[in-house]
Amino acid sequence: MDMTRRPRRLRTDGVRPLVRETEVSASDLIAPVFVDATTDERVPIETMPGHERVPVDESVARVEDVLETGVEAIMVFGIPESKDERGSRAWASDGVVQEAVRRITDETDAYVITDVCLCEYTEHGHCGVLEETAESDPDLTVRNDETLGLLGNIAVSHARAGADMVAPSGMMDGMVGAIREALDEDGHSDVPVMSYAAKFESSFYGPFRDAADGAPAFGDRRHYQMDPANAREARREVELDVEQGADVLMVKPALPYLDVVRDVRETYDHPVAAYNVSGEYAMLHAAAEKGWLNLEEVAYESLLSIKRAGADLILTYFAEDVADRL
């Protein structure tokens, strides 16, 4: 045999790290932080081992825990003290996210991103203003255009509180353009928008809905989140967000949609983010508890695969654990 090409030559211990094509660093990671206005103490999230809801008074301490691991960016999610039909606490100046962001930006150097959505704030758990027949005979469940103004209000309230970046996640048509316009009109033209540009109606979100108390009271989100079967539609969704001024493009979930992450990376020169969601986190924890997997190794390999597919940023519940070991 004429074996002049031997790939194993580059797998010896000395050269293997020198030719490694992909690395994960703490600066690639964004850590989710859950702030809960209904509690005065930290509350563990049973479906997401190692994570907890924290009261507003503990939000700074929680972020300082993150920063100690080397992770520099956080995403703030809020659980309000009360909910109503339109989710009005989402844009209240004294709302849970707004209060937490003021404290975090005043007292830490964290880069603060906020989730811009309504599902945690509405009584019905959907991501916008409902159609009249949403529960009994839905057409598109949520009134798209009427919801856009509310999303703009939320983004502006977060920017006024000091958020460095806003991240709309509701998958409303035109949401990026509406938020960009609202931010600019209020004097926040330097605040970037990280759009959940391709967000699929996934079964991997279950633990998060427990964490953020945002599960729909009826029905599901198939009328606004994407069909998991559709990759070409994802291209169209992302293209629209680019046209409307999105600064960062996110794919959610991550691991089951690495083909979409790769496609976005190859098509656009924008920074690409991927959300390693709660179900991806919980299933690895569950397997590790059974002794079937080494949690530390599979967590890192999961993030490495997301980075290799083309993500520049990874929003992940593994952020602190992985960063702490890098």
Residue 103 labeled ligand binder: no
Residue 120 labeled ligand binder: no
Phi and psi (nearest 5°) for 12? Answer: -70, 160
Residue 320 labeled ligand binder: no
Residue 107 labeled ligand binder: no
The burial class, CB within 10 Å (0-12 / 13-18 / 19+), for 24 is buried
Tokens of 113: 């991103």
Which residue among the candidates 83, 252, 290, 307 is catalytic per the annotation? Answer: 252
Q: Which long-range contacts (CB under 8 A, 24 or more apart) does 181-188 make?
A: 181/152, 182/152, 182/153, 182/155, 182/156, 183/152, 183/155, 183/156, 183/159, 186/156, 186/159, 186/160, 188/156, 188/159, 188/160
**CA 144 to CA 89: how far, in whole Å?**
19
Residue 209 labeled ligand binder: yes
**Omega before residue 253 within 30° of 0, cis:** yes
Phi and psi (nearest 5°) for 125? Answer: 80, 10
- The reply to whether 199 belongs to the active site is yes
**CA 275 to CA 261: how far, in whole Å?**
10
Residue 121 labeled ligand binder: no
Cβ-contact 29, 323 below 8 angstroms: yes
Contacts of 169 (CB under 8 A, 6+ apart): 115, 116, 117, 127, 196, 199, 252
- DSSP letter (8 states) at residue 200: B
Residue 117 labeled ligand binder: yes
Residue 89 labeled ligand binder: no
Alpha-helical runs (H) found in the chain: 59-68, 96-107, 144-161, 175-185, 206-212, 232-243, 258-267, 278-289, 295-309, 319-325
Which residue among the candidates 83, 199, 290, 307 is catalytic per the annotation? Answer: 199
- The reply to whether 252 belongs to the active site is yes
Cβ-contact 76, 104 below 8 angstroms: yes
Cβ-contact 66, 108 below 8 angstroms: no
The dihedral formed by the CA atoms of 215, 217, 222 and 227, expressed in degrees to the nearest 10: 30
Which residues sit in the known binding site for Zn(2+)?
Answer: 117, 119, 127
- Positions at the binding site for 5-aminolevulinate: 209, 221, 278, 317
Binding-site residue numbers are: 117, 119, 127, 209, 221, 237, 278, 317
Question: Which residues carry a binding-site annotation for Mg(2+)?
Answer: 237
**Which are the catalytic amino acids?**
199, 252
